[in-house]
Amino acid sequence: MTCSRQRLAAGLCLLLALPFFLLACGGGSLVPAATPAPASTEAARPTAVSGDTGASPTSRPPASPTQPPPSPTPARGLQFDPPQVSQGGVAVVYLYEDAASATATFGGRQYPMLRDGNRWWAIIGVGALANTGLAPVSVAYTPAGGGEPRSVVQSITITDREFPVEHVELSPETASLLAPDIVQAELAKRAAIFSGYTLQRMWTGPFQAPSSGMLTDHYGVGRSYNNGPVTDYHRGTDFAGEIGAPVYAAATGRVVFTGELKVRGNTVIIDHGAGVFTAYHHLSAIDVQEGELVTAGRQIGAIGSTGLVTGPHLHWE
Ligand SMILES: [Zn+2]
C-alpha cells in the first residue's frame, strides 16, 4: 500500500473492515472484474491427460516406501479466470469433472459451485490486504456416478496492488461509533446475512451503476483515523448525491435485508446468487421489502446520510 495524504472529502463514509468479500469494484470500474463466461468451449478446456486417474506423469510424486500410496484424486486440476488475481480482485474458479456437486474453499471460506455444462464454477474474492503470492484453492466434489468424495487443490497467484491512503479526522462523538462492541454487533449481523448462499446465478450481463452520481471514493483505499496506523480500508465505492436521489439495484436478485445499521445507516442488501451480494448504505429511504425479487435498474431506495458519514452519499459494496 502506498501512503499519500488526501483531504477528507465531503460525503465520505467511515466504514470498517469486514472479513467478507462482496462485489469489489476498484479503479472506477462498475463491472465485476470477472464474470462467469458463457458456455464452455473445447479451446478453453484443460489439456486432456491419459490414464485412469488423469494424473500427469510430470506431476506424479516419486515412488517412496515411506510415502502413502498415490491419491486416487484426478489431477485434471482447476482453471482460474483470470489466471492471477490482484489484491481486492475476484476470479472465477472452474472445475472440469463429471460431478454431482462441488464446493470450493479459499481463504477459509466455502463457495458452493454451480454447474455450467461440463464444468463447475464459483467466484472467489481476495481482500485488499490479502497476502501476495501463492494461495491454495481446493475443490471437494462428489463424482456424478457415485463413489467417494474427491478433492483437487491448486494455488492461485495473488499479485500486489497499490492503494492510496486517506487520513481521516474523527470527532470523539463520531469515533465512539467505532467502539468495538458496536462494530462487532454490526459485523455479526452482516455475517448472518452473508452466510446465506443461493445456488443459482440470478443476474445476466455486467452490473449497472446503482446511482447516476459521481464516484467520489474507491474500493481498497487505506484508512488512517486521527493519524493512527492504517488498520482498515474502504470496502466499497462511494457515489455523490443529494438526499433523496434514486438508488437502483445493480443487478437482478432477491432483497435479503432492509433495515438500520449503526455504522452503515439505512441499508438494503441484495443476494444475486452464487455468493454475490450487493449492499446499499446510508440511505434516506428504502423502497423494497425483504424477500422481494428486484430486477436490474429497479429503484430500491434513495441517497441519504444515515449512519457514520460526513455527508450524504451512497456507499455501495
Ligand atoms: Zn464508502
Phi and psi, residue 172, nearest 5°: -55, -40
State the distance from the centre of ligand 1 to the C-alpha of 312, rounded, in angstroms. 11
Assigned domain for 197 exists = yes
On whether residue 280 sits in a domain, the answer given is yes
> In angstroms, what is the span from residue 315 Cα to ligand 1's centroid?
4
271-299: b (≥16 Cβ within 10 Å) or e: bbbbbbbbbbbbbbbbbbeeebebebeee
Identify the helix (H) or strand (E) that includes residue 85: strand 84-86
Q: How far is the CA of 209 from the centre of ligand 1 (A)?
A: 15
Which grid cell sits at 203?
443476474
Amino acid letter at 46?
P
**Ligand 1 centroid, distance to 233 Cα (angstroms):** 10
Provide the residues around ligand 1 (an ion) whose CB is within 5 A. 13, 236, 238, 315
Q: How far is the CA of 207 from the centre of ligand 1 (A)?
A: 18
Centroid of ligand 1 to alpha carbon of 219 (angstroms) = 8
Q: How far is the CA of 128 from the centre of ligand 1 (A)?
A: 15
pLDDT in tens, 72-120: 444 478 999 999 999 999 999 999 999 999 999 999 999 999 999 989 9
Distance 211 CA to ligand 1 centre (A): 13
Residue 242 lies in a domain: yes
* CA 216–ligand 1 middle distance (angstroms): 9
**In which band, very low, low, confident or very high, does the pLDDT at 146 lie, cut at 50, 70 and 90?**
confident
Q: Is the dihedral of CA 151, 20, 197, 185 positive or negative?
A: positive
pLDDT tens-place string over residues 175-228 = 777 788 888 899 899 989 998 899 999 999 999 999 999 999 999 999 888 888
Position 20 scores a pLDDT of: 31
Residue 149 lies in a domain: no
In a domain, 112, yes or no: no
The pLDDT value given to residue 14: 52
The rounded Å distance from CA 121 to ligand 1 centre is: 30
Q: Where are the alpha helices (DSSP H) in the chain?
A: 172-176, 180-194
Mean pLDDT to the nearest integer, 140-163: 94
| Residue 175 belongs to some domain of the structure | yes
Percent of the chain with pLDDT over 90: 58
Q: How many angstroms separate the alpha carbon of residue 248 from the centre of ligand 1?
A: 16
Q: What is the CATH number of the domain that holds 278?
A: 2.70.70.10
Complex ipTM tops 0.90: yes
pLDDT band for position 17 (cuts 50, 70, 90): very low
| Distance of CA 237 from the midpoint of ligand 1 (Å) | 6
Cell numbers at residue 194, please?
A: 452473508
* Averaged confidence pLDDT in the chain: 80
Closest CA to 216 of 241, 240, 188, 234: 240
What pLDDT is attached to residue 77?
82
Domain of residue 198: give its range.
165-316
Give the Å distance between the CA of 244 and the centre of ligand 1: 17
The neighbour count for residue 222, using CB atoms within 10 Å, is: 21
Domains of the chain: total:
1
Is residue 238 in some structural domain? yes
In the reported structure, the alpha carbon of residue 281 is separated from the centroid of ligand 1 by a whole-number distance in angstroms of 8
Q: What is the Å distance from ligand 1's center to 198 Cα?
A: 26
Mean pLDDT, range 155-178, rounded to an integer: 86
For residue 308, report the distance from its CA to the centre of ligand 1, in Å.
Answer: 10
Q: How far is the CA of 316 from the centre of ligand 1 (A)?
A: 7
* Rounded Cα gap, residues 63 and 310, in angstroms: 64
Residue 148 included in any domain: no
Ligand 1 centre and the CA of 58: distance in Å?
Answer: 48
Cα 26 to middle of ligand 1, angstroms = 12
